[in-house]
Amino acid sequence: MSDPASKRPVMIVPSVLPADFSKLGEEVAALEAAGVDLIQWDVMDGQFVPNLTFGPDVIRSARRHCSVPFEAHLMVYTPDVMAKDYIEAGCSRLIVHAEACTHLHRTCGNINDLGATAAVALSPATPASAVQHVLDLVDMVLVMTVNPGFGGQAYIPTMEPKIREVQAMLEAVGRADDVHIEVDGGIGPDTIAGAAAAGANVLIAGSALYRDPEGLEHAVSDLRARAEAARA
């Protein structure tokens, strides 16, 4: 089994889907104060997934309320059309879905040319091999542990072998210390260790952060401790 304890640090990253959209500025400031490493915006176009969320102007309005990096998880059919707007709104990483990109290699290169880092997301049925030929263009691979579109879904544990496969692919090309592995969906106290032990170092949590009765800061530190213990 590959050793996931690479140099990549554990990062706890909130999805703002469960946040109060009427006060997103306060919400992102509270997430920063709770100790998150960056913030993920789940961008949905109502076509690639049956849900509709944040335009670039919403993200731009939240940008001035905190200093942590933003990444946009583009669950959209037209990432090439949208990329520039989300980068100019303040996102330093764009995550595109392999399933939505006719020319994934070109899409990742365009994101890099626009000054952001590119990442590729794999929905549950998409094999790890879909990113084999773009590992030199990305700084992260996102292995979805739910089907994209909604928060609050159950973690899919059968994705853990895919996480290990991506880890092994990165090791095979000498990129294991440079390319993050992110997981997204159903991550909480009972599931984070399995994902981290498999190789994930960037862990997205939405529901688990907001439902913690001891608050955001406790949720972030508890998840971080569990992930670090699993990768030790």
Please list the active-site residues: 42, 184
Our CB check for ligand DX5 shows the closer of 19 and 146 to be 146
What angle do helix axes 104-113 and 79-88 make, rounded to 10 degrees?
Answer: 20
Pinpoint the alpha helices (H) of 92-204: 104-113, 160-172, 192-198
Q: Tell me if 107 contacts ligand DX5 by CB under 6 A.
A: no
Q: How would you classify residue 91: left for phi > 0, otherwise alpha for psi between -120 and 50, otherwise beta?
A: beta
Query: 3-class SS at 192?
Result: helix
Length of the chain measured in residues: 232
Alpha-carbon torsion, ordered 202, 204, 208, 210, to 10 deg: 120
Q: Tell me if 2 contacts ligand DX5 by CB under 6 A.
A: no
- Binds ligand DX5 by CB under 6 A, chosen from 4, 79, 186, 194: 186
Q: Name the minimum Å distance from CB 27 to ligand DX5.
A: 14
- Tokens 């706890």 found at: 12
Q: How far apart are the first and last CA of the chain?
A: 14
Q: Tell me if 184 contacts ligand DX5 by CB under 6 A.
A: yes
Q: Name the minimum Å distance from CB 76 to ligand DX5.
A: 12
Q: Tell me if 206 contacts ligand DX5 by CB under 6 A.
A: yes
Site stretch for ligand DX5 (CB under 6 A), options 95-103, 170-178, 200-208, 213-221: 200-208
Q: Tell me if 126 contacts ligand DX5 by CB under 6 A.
A: no
Structure letter (DSSP) for residue 8: P
| Tokens linked to 189 | 């106290």
Residue 104's nearest CA partner among 141, 69, 72, 70 is: 141
- Binds ligand DX5 by CB under 6 A, chosen from 11, 204, 219, 227: 204
Q: Total number of residues binding ligand DX5 (CB under 6 A)?
A: 21
Site stretch for ligand DX5 (CB under 6 A), options 27-35, 64-72, 134-142, 143-151: 143-151
- Binds ligand DX5 by CB under 6 A, chosen from 13, 17, 170, 197: 17
Q: Tell me if 152 contacts ligand DX5 by CB under 6 A.
A: yes
Binding site for ligand DX5 (CB under 6 A): 15, 17, 42, 73, 75, 146, 148-153, 184-187, 204-208
